[in-house]
Amino acid sequence: MSSVYDIPEVEERVLSTLNKDGSRRWLRPRLSPGKFLIWRRIIGYLLIIVFVALPYLKINGKPPILLDIPNREFTFFGATFLPTDTLLLALLILSIFISIFLITALLGRVWCGWGCPQTVYMELVYRPIERLFAGRSYHSAKTSIPPLRQAAKYLVFFIISVFLAHTFLAYFVGAETLLGWMQRSPIEYPTAFIVVAITTILMMLDFCLFREQVCTLMCPYGRFQSVLLDRQSLIISYDSKRGEPRGKKRKEENLGDCVDCSLCVLTCPTGIDIRNGLQMECVGCAQCIDACNSIMRKLSKPLGLIRYSSQEAMESGKRRFLRPRVVIYPVILCVVLVLFGVVLVNTGTADVSFLRNRANPYTLSDDGNVTNLVLISVRNRTTESRSYDISVVEDAKVSSVDLPLILESNQSGSATLHVTIPRHRFSSGRAEINVRITDDDTFDKTYTHRMIGPLFGGADSPSSEESPGGSGS
C-alpha cells in the first residue's frame, strides 16, 4: 500500500510544464527561423533599445518617463502629473485598460508574443545566450551543460540583470542621478542599492527559474484571455480540417497535411501542442507557424497549416471584423481621451489653493475695517522658473512680504496676504473677494475667495476689536 505522501502518476500531463509525476518539466524550445521570427526580433530589439535609451532622452528638460515617487511627480512625455491630478491619472489608466481590451479583441495575445518584456527578454536575450553556452547539448534532455559553461552562463545572466535593474531604477530617479550614485559607495544610497539588488534577484529568479511559468501560471492578463477574446479575435490556430488525420506513413494512408513531426510542439516556449486548439498557455509567439511552414515548404505543400486566424474563420471560413465589442471599446476610448484632453487643457500651468487662519479668522479694527489672513499656495507646473503676482480685484488693501512669489519648475511656495475690506461688505459673516494670480508668462486666473467677518455688517454694529477663534469655514 502506498504511503500518504506518494504522489500518484496521472495518465497524461496536466500542465505543459509538469511531468506526469508532478516534477518540473524543463523546456528547451527549438528555435524555428522564419518570417515571424525575423519580425519579432526587429520589434523586440527595438523595444529593448527604447527601454534602455528612454531615461537618457530629454523632453522639456525631463526624461520622457520619470516616476519621481519621493516628490510625488509622474512625468509622461513632457506632461507632469501630481497626486492632485487624480482625475487625470484615473482617465489615463482607464484609457490604457480600454486600449488593452480593444487590442486583445482584435489581435488576440499579440502583446504577449511581440511586446511583453517577459517574452521579449526571455526569448530574445536570455534564451539565445543559454543556447550559445549550451551548444548542441541544449536540446538533449540527457546531456547537461558542463559546469564551467553553466557558471559562465549565469555570470552573463547576472551582469545583464544588474544592468536592466539599474535601467529600471533610472525610470524612478533619472539617468543623471543614477550615474552619479553609481560612482559612489552604495552605503551612501542604501535604498537605491536595495531596490537594484531586489530587482536583480527577481530577474534572476524569473529568467533562470520561473521562465514560462510567469506567463502560464502567474500573469493575470493571461487569465483574462477567455473573457477578452471572442470567436472573431485573431489567434494562432491549427487548421485541423486540412491537417487531420495526421500521420507519418504518407504513402500508405489517406492522411491530412500534418506529418506529426512534433516540431510545432518542440519549438513552443510554453510547451503546448497548438493542434489541441486554443489554450490559455499560448502566448502568441508564432514560433509554431514558422516551424510548420518550414515543414510545409520541404513537402511542397501550401503554407499556413498553422496560421494567424480566428476560431470562426477556422470553422466556417468567414471572418467578421465588425462586432459589438470592436465598436463599443473605441467609442468609450474616444470619450475617455476627449475627457482627458479637456481636463488637461483646463489644468493650467499652476496649481493654486487657498487656506485661511482658522485660529484667528478675522480682525476688526477701530476704523471699521475687517482684515483676513489668507495663505495662498502655488505650484509652478511649468518647466521654467516663474514669478507670480497676487492681487485683489476689488477695493481692498493687500499687504504681503512674500510677493512676488518666485518659483522654480515644479516648485511649490506660498504667500501670506493681509487682506482688509470695509465691514459693510459682510453679510451673515461672509464677503466674497476676487483674487487675481498672474505669472510673467501666460498664467492669469481669478479665484473667488470667501472672507470671514462679523455677523452684523452694518455701521451701527458692535465695533470692538474681535478675534473669534474657530469660526472660519
Give me the residues that bind ligand SF4 (CB under 6 A), please.
236, 238, 243, 246, 258-264, 267-270, 272, 274-275, 282-288, 291-292, 295, 305-306
Instruction: Please list, residue by residue across 53-90, b when 16 or more beta carbons sit within 10 angstroms of its beta carbon and e when fewer do.
Output: ebbeeeeeebbbbbebeeeebbbeeebbbbeebeebee
- Largest Cα–Cα distance of the chain, in whole Å? 117
Smallest distance, ligand SF4 to C-beta of residue 258, A: 3
| Other Cβ atoms within 10 Å of 407 Cβ, number | 20
CA trace torsion 142, 144, 146, 151 (10° rounding): -170
**Residue 281: C-alpha distances to residues 112, 216, 271, 292 (Å):** 11, 5, 8, 19
Q: Which is nearer to ligand SF4, 304 or 422 (CB)?
A: 304
Nearest-approach distance from CB 306 to ligand SF4, in angstroms: 6
DSSP string of 147-171, one letter each residue: HHHHHHHHHHHHHHHHHHHHHHHHH
Closest approach, Cβ 145 to ligand SF4, in A, equals 23
Looking at the DSSP bridge assignments, the partners of residue 372 are: 419
Residue nearer to ligand SF4 on the CB measure, 262 or 448: 262
Pick the closer one to ligand SF4 by CB: 229 or 305. 305
Of the pair 288, 370, the CB lying nearest ligand SF4 is at 288
Q: Which of 64, 67, 87, 74 lies closest to 336 in space, CA to CA?
A: 87
What's at 110, amino acid-wise? V
Minimum separation from the CB atom of position 274 to ligand SF4 (A): 4
Asked, as a colleague might, if the bond just before 186 is cis with ω within 30 of 0, I would say no
Q: Which residue has the cell 524612478?
A: 172
CB nearer ligand SF4, residue 232 or residue 270? 270
Query: Given the complex with ligand SF4, which of 294 and 411 has the nearer CB atom?
Result: 294
Residue whose CB is less far from ligand SF4, 297 or 397 = 297
Measured from the CB of residue 119, what is the shortest distance to ligand SF4 in angstroms? 9
Minimum distance, C-beta of residue 30 to ligand SF4, in the bound complex (Å): 10
Closest distance between ligand SF4 and the C-beta of residue 281, in Å? 7
